[in-house]
Structure 1
């Protein structure tokens, strides 16, 4: 059966149409990052000597700018090795500014320059929109000037062409500061072209012993020095040898075996698959990837192939991916409580555990936030998709859109209005990636897209109205308009968060005909004017907005499938009978000094499905008082964003997760928060302007995860004996003045992980020295 058959025959597989996920605002810098040093593979073997050599070369006493290169075949571990070197303690201490960018075969020069600028100058207050408007020559000059007095290290990962190096090289000054460029490439000629005086470091395949140790870690899930069950050892050695010493091949085959029972017969089946099906035509990593793909269940094959639509080295939001998979109708309800999005997240975890998909970023409580695929794995997905005419990727101006395409990803756009030619393909998904159209519009004949389920226009720049004909796409389930100010017609209005002037966008009335729409993402950087049609979208499950405005009170009553609603205003909530929203789980509301929070909480108190409440405070003269939250017995997660004078006088009684963002509290919040008896997760970002946080004896007796981010004035954290007795993970991100962690951390037996992210090198050295010997996992990252 083909994957197209799977998509069309959902009833045959018992697949229903139900549920969906969650929402938070992501930062623009995350969009710019592709491959990232943030998640370094913990299972690294065989790189000890070459790591020492690379570090020594980066640190050698030579004031000239030097290029250090790692070359090797695909799957040999070049990126993994580069991450290990990039995060090496001596390297961090040497270079006062660092950046990482993935070049890939289809690079965007301006995007790479923007990404490097933002990473090298993270304290800059310059809006990203300013960089977006700069021309290529201006970006090069800006970067060149920024680096004049810096001892910098920039990693150029996965560079394919000499032309790509030539474009970037002129932006990196050679000014006697001992700066370094570290590049990885499959092409030795590229490395020698970049610096003919330095011999590239060739990454060889792993030796037999290193291959075996990596295989055991991935296939059995064990740590160092863990042996193999005797009955599995002989067949395991044969499988490991078939991987040819390539870390990617070993990792993927290990993930395949990890998902199977630890039986000799199961491992022999895998070995026999090599010997019978693949040995005649393929070898090495290609054979491993083919075998791993063949072993996937039918629904996971569809999910895997769908990943091939995303650009090379693209960081993929897991939440977005889940929405798309659910909209495709391929997810199956697992039980009465967990809906399709739970099944979709499980499938993301299954693909990651098989090492087919890589984790790009995780939350502090170890949920997968974003992922990506190795370029060899993506090539497999594209190859398999072409075999079945499953999807098409449009990435050159000369490509023609096939009349048979059902899933189309547009990575570049021709400057013609008649985009699809004389015929319109029977598309189910149409995805655009960072397409910039300055005066022309995309010629989309919406009336012809009778089968379209997914339309994603994230970050597409269009300077004319979104066509009214979009209402004719009656089967549409996912519509993504997130990103640019220019997504629709613009005009100036006063923004509700203050006196500054910003743009506004308006949705056409025809949206009201999209009765099958499940997810509508209108998180633009402008207020979105929404005609009063939302109540007509009877299938709607997730409505994401930063800020919505309606000429009349926005009606949302009767949306029994709605699970997520963000960016709505206080007055609109109060005008609706919220009891009719029987599936509502997550709600984000704009409030101001006129908002009566006590009445709001009473209004929401009987909405039994509501578990997450996010209140955004505007920048008016006064502040709303947060009385009444104790009425919300069903709420277990509370998020407070914006400027507040003080913490609420009370909290939801069953609160387990709390996030404070941009609150700029002046009084230490810990004496209040530590008494929340059920609190297990606390995140504070730009939340407190004081110099000390003090946690008293037995404070936070249930807290397991603590993240402190951008507390720019924080010097010290103190904790009395007996505080934080259940803490598992503590993440400190971008707290540049922090000098001291609590001594009590050394005595918390449950504490497994301390993460230091984007911290100054002197702070890292001091904090790491204080805690390294007492915390099992000390992780230091730069994003």
Structure 2
């Protein structure tokens, strides 16, 4: 991490040297040279840090040297950025035009040279100590092949989804039998065991078991976690047992806990339900939820996973907890073999005796914990079975073991230490998110870029580089996918508790992260990242920082949605702040002083109650992401957007129209969601040359052709979203044919008829029609879009029959049919959609069966059925004609009760349905 810290400082020094202002100030004539010399010194030192970072845990002397160097690098960053802030403040006030009139105001700037000179001397002393204490020699001895070999193993991890499970079949069957026992009383069945032992994995297998699906007509799965929020858990259950509209979601967010409890009771009262409470820690957490689950003697069940046996015993003293133990030696060995050589090794018979010995030692050090075995096995997957490679992994684990780390801790620590520096910083950023928090990829990527963790690679866009970094962490089993888009992009993610613990431990050490909770001590003067997870009188914010202001770079609030009193925020003391996240906070006003945070790059106000933005917002010249998707119906927005020259992403809900907004100066803007058509037309859209995604509310039909004409020239615009309220349909959309660069199109709102095939964007590959309620079958038109690969129809068609002609949709890979209220039959002609990989059908209550032609589709990998009536599932389950022999695995999702409006049911091992081959899209 010291290497990463120094790299960031070098980048800042380089940027500072090219600023013209610093060259123009006569008082600072020596500063550019001093900055250049400091930069050169840091580059020289950086060469040693790669090896020092790896060995600082092995040798206290190296650890102390790295720590001093990291502190000096951070001090350099503070001096540089403080200087930049002061320069920008003077420039804003016009003081730099006549320097002789303001000598006192500029006196502080003269100190920057002395400060840099002092830091440079400190760096030189640290550099000399490297030679004095023989650190060079130690580092030279440490650069053995062990670390390099393991790094190569990490880089070689294949990009496939892990589906290998060992020793769970018997456990699954036993728990399923408990769930289905003929006892009408509601009971709690619990799975207990240490972190990483596979409690959630086992619970999922039970939850998705075909017999369980056939028994319960209502199911929900919620994460509870250490910081239990009863309100969030209850809202999560309601969302799964009943589909929510935009308005009802907002109503839920405002409901008190008692009202939510009554609502859950009402929803479950007449259902045979199964609710999984995953990762519940405290007895009090159960007590806060128990009353929501009615006992109506119909065989309903609750499944609970916990690390502590006292919790499930408290919940139901008549039900004996199922204790999940660590894997035995042979099961652990078999899991390791599957993870390490899934495609080339079926048994240890293909391994040499020495390799078996090394492999079994690796498994032994993993302590029988599936998470540890999976992580280290993934490192070795796809590699040749060379003793040197396996030995390097064993040596690394042994090294960590000797430093006091045992079992899974040794595995995870070694996995972290062998990440490249850029991936280390990205992984440590997960420490800021609460346990079990589902992280939107959009948010994560924007924050990485704002923090300067992502660097340009040639012409590649930073957001794409960040997405690649996330993929790498997922492929290494350090981050878990939660949801993916239709084309396999990660939509949200999370980290396992043990991995988060590791990230928090490291981030506190190397990033000076402070997570403030009710029992926490106050942040130190070195704190650079502050996460506030609770609001209490002990944190006198911001008064607590008046005498010792930490150099915060990020200030993030979590878990404060239930706080009723409004916050009075002040940020003026945090001049170096880059990331400010106020999501879900109960605030209605953003203070004017926000404009003084001249280095701010990320500002999130999502789901606040802010009604207006201050004029000073225009001072945030470095702002890259502005998220103001608030609860208020319309935000009063001053006409200052045009000043934010570095803005890359703007998320709005609605803005008042009192002042026309000008933003055509924003040449870096990539995302603009959602703006009114008139507002957009009022700008020179052709100047927004970086635009990639655009969302537009269509108000007046007369100007839509102007929109298409303007955006047709934007070569980077690949994603267009068109929305319209009310019963009045969209105007003519024939102008879409001019959009030669658009590949993704979403139309939301009433459509009287589709444009003809030649009036769609010629390169269109993704199409989503939502709430269009077309009267005529759209397939005869859409099947002629030769490049179409993903098609989503949600409440898009009011007819009874969908017909796909023979040999049509040659490139379609994903087809989603949702909320088609009158649909009865789907017909597919011979040879149609030959590339179909995924079919999803949801809330189409009158569809009796799926087309017979699907069984001939060799490319089909996944079939999802969600919120469909019981007769559909029953018929699908019993049809011999649906048996598929060319694929090994099958997944079907759906619900059995047509009265239900929510809840995902996943059935595995339907030998007569459809398939998955383990792709990332599954």
Contact 1:548-1:567 at 8 Å conserved across structures: no
SS of the counterpart of 1:58? helix
Q: Which residue number corresponds to residue 528 of structure 2?
A: 406
> Aligned pair 1:656/2:781, yes or no?
no
Q: Which residue number corresponds to residue 439 of structure 2?
A: 316
Write the distance in 1 (CA, Å) between the matches of 2:284 and 2:308: 13
Give the TM-score, by structure 2 length.
0.76
Deviations along 1:714-748, one digit per CA (max 9) or x if unpaired, are 33221010110111222223434432212111111
* 1:511 aligned to which of 597, 606, 617: 617
Distance 1:760 1:450, change over 3 A: farther
Taking the TM superposition and a 5 Å limit, the aligned residue runs for 1:150-169 are 150-169=271-290
> Aligned pair 1:667/2:773, yes or no?
no
Distance 1:433 1:223, change over 3 A: farther
Taking the TM superposition and a 5 Å limit, the aligned residue runs for 1:522-671 are 522-525=628-631, 526-619=633-726, 621=728, 623-649=730-756, 650-671=759-780
* 2:571 aligned to which of 422, 446, 454: 446
Write the distance in 1 (CA, Å) between the matches of 2:161 and 2:292: 28
SS of the counterpart of 1:9? helix
> Aligned pair 1:690/2:805, yes or no?
no
Deviations along 1:759-779, one digit per CA (max 9) or x if unpaired, are 444433433555452573432
Q: Which residue number corresponds to residue 284 of structure 1?
A: 407
Contact 1:397-1:413 at 8 Å conserved across structures: no
Q: Which residue number corresponds to residue 325 of structure 1?
A: 448
Give the TM-score, by structure 1 length.
0.89
> Aligned pair 1:387/2:516, yes or no?
no
* 1:354 aligned to which of 476, 486, 490: 476
Q: Which has the larger radius of gyration?
A: 2
Q: Which residue number corresponds to residue 429 of structure 1?
A: 554
SS of the counterpart of 2:432? coil
Deviations along 1:310-346, one digit per CA (max 9) or x if unpaired, are 011010111110111011111122232x222111111
SS of the counterpart of 1:252? helix
* Bigger mean CA deviation after superposition, 2-11 or 52-61: 2-11
Distance 1:419 1:3, change over 3 A: farther
Contact 1:254-1:354 at 8 Å conserved across structures: no
> Aligned pair 1:253/2:376, yes or no?
yes
Contact 1:191-1:200 at 8 Å conserved across structures: yes
Q: How many residues align?
A: 741
Q: Which residue number corresponds to residue 497 of structure 2?
A: 375
5+ residue gaps in structure 1? Answer: 17-38, 489-504
Distance 1:14 1:704, change over 3 A: farther
Deviations along 1:399-458, one digit per CA (max 9) or x if unpaired, are 423332211222211257841313432111111224237664434432222211111112
Deviations along 1:120-159, one digit per CA (max 9) or x if unpaired, are 2337897123333332223223322332222111111111
Q: Which residue number corresponds to residue 175 of structure 2?
A: 54
Structure richer in strand, relative to its length: 1
> Aligned pair 1:465/2:589, yes or no?
yes
* Bigger mean CA deviation after superposition, 168-177 or 394-403: 394-403
Deviations along 1:44-101, one digit per CA (max 9) or x if unpaired, are 2210111001000000000111111111111110001001100111111111111111
Write the distance in 1 (CA, Å) between the matches of 2:686 and 2:246: 44
Contact 1:10-1:329 at 8 Å conserved across structures: no
* 1:115 aligned to which of 236, 243, 262: 236
SS of the counterpart of 2:305? strand
Distance 1:323 1:124, change over 3 A: closer
Write the distance in 1 (CA, Å) between the matches of 2:621 and 2:665: 13
Q: Which residue number corresponds to residue 70 of structure 2?
A: none
Contact 2:518-2:538 at 8 Å conserved across structures: no
> Aligned pair 1:300/2:410, yes or no?
no
Contact 1:290-1:380 at 8 Å conserved across structures: yes
* 2:607 aligned to which of 464, 483, 495: 483
Q: Which residue number corresponds to residue 35 of structure 1?
A: none
Contact 2:677-2:696 at 8 Å conserved across structures: yes
Distance 1:3 1:378, change over 3 A: farther
> Aligned pair 1:713/2:822, yes or no?
yes
Q: Which residue number corresponds to residue 598 of structure 2?
A: 474
Q: Which residue number corresponds to residue 364 of structure 1?
A: 486
Cα drift, residue 12 of structure 1: 8.8
Distance 1:49 1:570, change over 3 A: same
Contact 2:337-2:345 at 8 Å conserved across structures: no
SS of the counterpart of 2:389? helix
* 1:81 aligned to which of 202, 227, 231: 202
5+ residue gaps in structure 2? Answer: 17-159, 894-902, 905-922
SS of the counterpart of 2:635? strand
Write the distance in 2 (CA, Å) between the matches of 1:577 and 1:97: 52
SS of the counterpart of 1:548? coil
Cα drift, residue 588 of structure 1: 1.3
Contact 1:453-1:477 at 8 Å conserved across structures: yes
Q: Which residue number corresponds to residue 293 of structure 2?
A: 172
Deviations along 1:509-551, one digit per CA (max 9) or x if unpaired, are 1111111111111122422332211111100111112333442
Write the distance in 2 (CA, Å) between the matches of 1:104 and 1:617: 40
Q: Which residue number corresponds to residue 875 of structure 2?
A: 766
Q: Which residue number corresponds to residue 500 of structure 1?
A: none
